């Protein structure tokens, strides 16, 4: 693993293991290399997060230019900047992977490409159906009166409040878990599987987002900035990049935090529900950041190691749940019957 034991605030200072003073050149050299790598990870983590903000500003500037020329929809500039960021993440993953064994195979890439196209289609459908309804809302909080960065930040906090609570419901309520489990099917994370969501979940998520934006009353510039941050951060959150987020964990739902959310151990995975920010996880007590381990040992749906992986199989998961559970009869158990002292201790009321 890229981080040693004791990762946490000690890791922020540049090393995770202390050694006694020695004149052995090999030990001194190794210690210096550890510190150098730690600085690189911190710089990469800070740099990628800063780039999200730069990308939002660039998208707003591009959109204004398109408007002056009478061209483009609000989503066009956000999409252009976001796609460029995806390419950058792909390149960094190839050079500095968090785990080499998380590099995807061709079949996995094909499935995730299908999910990305499905996500775009579902988002368009959700907006087409919900926007005519929300336009009837003549009242809003008039966030558009605020500066663009402030309005976009309010949008992030407001939507993540709704998203994180619905997300938690997806883990706690059995029927919702049969849908949300699709997102937890990968056994490794990389930037492209951030959009691996069942179509029904994506529709609900997009509909809620559209309603939240309507209630806030955001300006076009604020909306473009928000959409860019939202589009960029999901892929950053899932990226297979050897970075260190450190104190950013207390504000953003970083890759370091989100890897725990994808843990195959349910008690570890039932945490860190934020899509962009970790603020609401701290407020509601679902923030999880152990200091004695770098990340989870395994990802996926721990009680169901034999789980569908292709696009069409995953879209059918809610319908095929009983068969999937039967195929994993040796490892699946009901939370209500679980041993509360086990490492995978139950989460109340969930039947999954």
- What's the pLDDT score for residue 133? 86
Please tell me which residue, 259 or 339, carries the higher pLDDT value: 259
Give the chain as a 3 state SS string.
Answer: CCCCCCCCHHHHCCCCCCCCCCCCHHHHHHHHHHHHHHHHHHHHHHHHHHHHHHHHHHHHHHHHHHHHCCCCCHHHHHHHHHHHHHHHHHHHHHHCCCCHHHCCCHHHHHHHHHHHHHHHHHHHHHHHHHHHHHCCCCCCCCHHHCCHHHHHHHHHHHHHHHHHHHHHHHHHCHHHHHHHHHHHCCCCCCHHHHHCCCHHHHHHHHHHHHHHHHHHCCCHHHHHHHHHHHHHHHHHHHCCCCCCCHHHHHCECCHHHHHHHCECCHHHHCCCCCCCECHHHHHHCCCCCCCCCCCCCCECCCCCCCCCCCHHHHHCCCCCHHHHHHHCCCCCCCHHHCCCCCCCCCCCCCCC
Residue 187: band (very low, low, confident or very high) from pLDDT cuts 50, 70, 90: very high
Q: Can you give the pTM of this predicted structure?
A: 0.85
Please tell me which residue, 25 or 341, carries the higher pLDDT value: 25
Evaluate whether 56 touches 152 at the Cβ level (below 8 Å).
Answer: yes
pLDDT of 190 over the 90 cut: yes
Percent of the chain whose predicted confidence (pLDDT) is above 70:
85
Q: Lowest-pLDDT range, 137-146, 224-233, 308-317?
A: 137-146
Q: What is the mean pLDDT of the segment spanning 97-102?
A: 96
- Nearest-angstrom CA–CA distance, 65 and 63: 5
- What's the pLDDT score for residue 74? 59
Q: What is the mean pLDDT of the segment spanning 286-297?
A: 93
- What's the pLDDT score for residue 104? 95
Percent of the chain whose predicted confidence (pLDDT) is above 90:
75
Please tell me which residue, 8 or 171, carries the higher pLDDT value: 171
Residue 276: band (very low, low, confident or very high) from pLDDT cuts 50, 70, 90: very high
- What's the pLDDT score for residue 68? 85
Residue 32: band (very low, low, confident or very high) from pLDDT cuts 50, 70, 90: confident
pLDDT tens digit sequence for 305-314 = 999 999 999 9
């Amino acid at each position: 693993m890229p981080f040693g034991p004791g990762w946490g605030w000690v890791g922020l200072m540049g090393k995770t293991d202390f050694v006694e003073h020695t004149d052995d050149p090999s030990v001194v050299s190794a210690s210096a290399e550890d510190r150098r790598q730690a600085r690189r990870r911190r710089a990469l983590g800070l740099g990628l997060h800063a780039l999200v903000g730069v990308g939002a500003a660039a998208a707003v500037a591009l959109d204004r230019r398109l408007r002056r020329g009478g061209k483009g929809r609000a989503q066009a500039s956000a999409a252009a900047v976001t796609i460029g960021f995806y390419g950058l993440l792909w390149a960094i993953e190839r050079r500095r992977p968090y785990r080499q064994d998380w590099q995807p195979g061709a079949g996995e890439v094909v499935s995730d490409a299908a999910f990305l196209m499905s996500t775009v289609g579902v988002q368009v459908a959700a907006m087409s159906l919900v926007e005519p309804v929300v336009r009837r809302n003549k009242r809003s909080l008039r966030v558009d009166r605020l500066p663009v960065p402030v309005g976009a930040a309010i949008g992030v906090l407001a939507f993540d409040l709704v998203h994180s609570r619905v997300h938690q419901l997806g883990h706690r309520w059995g029927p919702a878990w049969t849908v949300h489990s699709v997102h937890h099917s990968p056994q490794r994370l990389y930037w492209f599987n951030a959009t691996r969501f069942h179509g029904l979940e994506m529709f609900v998520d997009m509909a809620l987002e559209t309603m939240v934006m309507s209630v806030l009353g955001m300006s076009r510039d604020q909306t473009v900035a928000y959409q860019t941050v939202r589009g960029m951060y999901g892929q950053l959150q899932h990226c297979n990049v050897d970075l260190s987020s450190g104190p950013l964990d207390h504000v953003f739902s970083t890759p370091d935090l989100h890897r725990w959310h994808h843990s195959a151990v349910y008690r570890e995975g039932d945490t860190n529900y934020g899509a962009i920010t970790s603020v609401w996880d701290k407020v509601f007590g679902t923030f999880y950041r152990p200091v004695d381990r770098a990340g989870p040992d395994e990802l996926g749906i721990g009680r169901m190691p034999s789980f569908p992986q292709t696009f069409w199989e995953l879209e059918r998961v809610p319908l095929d749940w009983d068969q999937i559970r039967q195929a994993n009869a040796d490892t699946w158990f009901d939370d209500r019957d679980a041993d509360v002292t086990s490492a995978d201790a139950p989460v109340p009321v969930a039947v999954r």
